[in-house]
Amino acid sequence: MSSADLPTPITFDDLGLLEPVLRAVKEVGYESPSPIQAASIPLLLAGEDIVGQAQTGTGKTAAFALRDG
């Protein structure tokens, strides 16, 4: 495996968040979304219903809150 085979890291900029939300995320110091956030936020922004499962402390609640702006 080479570095070309590795997935490109996802940033909060890539998720389609509203600009005020994106600015707030950066101001509080979040650098990159957790895997559950990266997987769920685009679906939530598209109006999809989702069920997600991840360990405590991985950002599930933030994923739902960030989409609303």
Q: What is the pLDDT of residue 5?
A: 60
Q: Is the pLDDT of residue 24 over 80?
A: yes
Q: Is the pLDDT of residue 67 over 90?
A: no
Residues 6+ apart with CB under 8 A from 14: none
Q: What is the pLDDT of residue 4?
A: 57
Q: In the predicted model, what is the mean pLDDT of the chain?
A: 86
Average pLDDT over residues 19-30: 94
Q: What is the pLDDT of residue 3?
A: 47
Residues 6+ apart with CB under 8 A from 20: 69
Average pLDDT over residues 27-53: 92
User: Percent of the chain beyond pLDDT 90?
Assistant: 61
Q: Are 25 and 38 in contact (CB under 8 A)?
A: no
The domain locations on the chain are 12-51
